[in-house]
Amino acid sequence: MTSEREAPMVEIDRLCKSYGKLAAVKDVTLTVQRGEAHFIIGPSGCGKSTLLRCVNLLEEPTGGRMRVGKIAMQFDGRRLPMSAREQAQYRARVGMVFQQFHLFPHMTALENVMEGPRTVKRIPYAEARTIAEGLLKKVGLAEKCAAYPKHLSGGQAQRVAIARALAMSPEVVLFDEVTSALDPELVGEVLAVIRQLTEEGMTMIVVTHEMAFAREVANSVTFMDAGMVVEQGPAAAVLGNVTNPRLEQFLRRFRA
């Protein structure tokens, strides 16, 4: 293997995000290897979603360093020295799926998935359509191409949102509590799609409260509390033999 392939896909080094005096993310360091599913768990308000949004620059980190693929950046609390265009080009390589789906309501499922390839990548219509149809088929929604988001169930909408993120062929996909807004009976179909992606070797960072799912598919895990990393390592080690009292307390609620 060449060193190029061995280099981690995502390296986050002492990343900080504070709002005025309130520190939401404090000195978080984490590394995600290529093809790895890295899960971030922790109580509500522990900063895990903020961290994820920082990785996509939807929030501007206030300190630390970050590298995704070939793009590295450093934050010092001043204005990010990246133009709007550079930020957009960066985001195009980092997919993101949101808790509330955020599908474009004035576009069909197919148009939602085609939008990135068409508008951002300027791919010709026919080719973009082929990509989008393939992805909707992959998430099990081939028959919903012409449906508008308001006619989709939550589970279907979230699968379209995943297809929309994948359509940009991202280097890493960020999942931000993607099943938290779903009815319980719809959670499974979305997790099945994510599970399939991990099997295909998609690099991803997953913020979730689905502990059983994390045990099943996570390669590595970060447990955060109060904006800081408390435990980190291979999934089996972090979730298997729990010694940290805070993690133990957190996990106990899911066993109840």
Partner 1 sequence: MPGYQWDFGKAFLHPDLWLTALTVTLGYAAATIFCGLIIGVIAGMLLLSRHWFVRVPVSGFVQVFRCTPLLIQIIWFYYALPVAIQVTIPAWLAAGMGLTFYMGAFSAEIFRGGIMSIDKGQWQAAKAIGMLPSQVMRRVVLPQATRRMIPPFVNQSVLQLKNTSLLSIVAVPDLMYTAQVFVSETFRPLEVYTSLGVIYLIILYPLQKLAKRLERRDDV
Q: Which chain residues interact with partner 1 by CB under 8 A?
A: 56, 58, 84-85, 88-89, 91-96, 98, 100, 102-106, 115-116, 119-120, 148, 150, 161, 164-165, 167-168
**CB of 247 vs partner 1, minimal distance in Å:** 30
Smallest CA-to-CA distance from 178 within 120, 100, 118 is with: 100
**CB of 2 vs partner 1, minimal distance in Å:** 28
- Contact predicate 174/52, CB 8 Å: yes
**CB of 205 vs partner 1, minimal distance in Å:** 14
Q: Mapping DSSP to helix (H, G, I), strand (E, B) and coil, where does residue 36 land?
A: coil
Please count the CA atoms within 13 angstroms of the CA of 190 that sit on its side-chain side.
Answer: 30
**CB of 87 vs partner 1, minimal distance in Å:** 8
Beta carbon nearer to partner 1, 43 or 134:
134
Smallest CA-to-CA distance from 228 within 23, 28, 19, 5 is with: 28
Beta carbon nearer to partner 1, 88 or 142:
88
Beta carbon nearer to partner 1, 87 or 196:
87
Strands 10-19 and 63-68: antiparallel
Beta carbon nearer to partner 1, 111 or 225:
111
Beta carbon nearer to partner 1, 103 or 218:
103
**CB of 168 vs partner 1, minimal distance in Å:** 6
Strands 220-225 and 228-234: antiparallel
Taking every pair of Cα atoms in the chain, the longest distance, rounded to a whole number of angstroms, is: 55
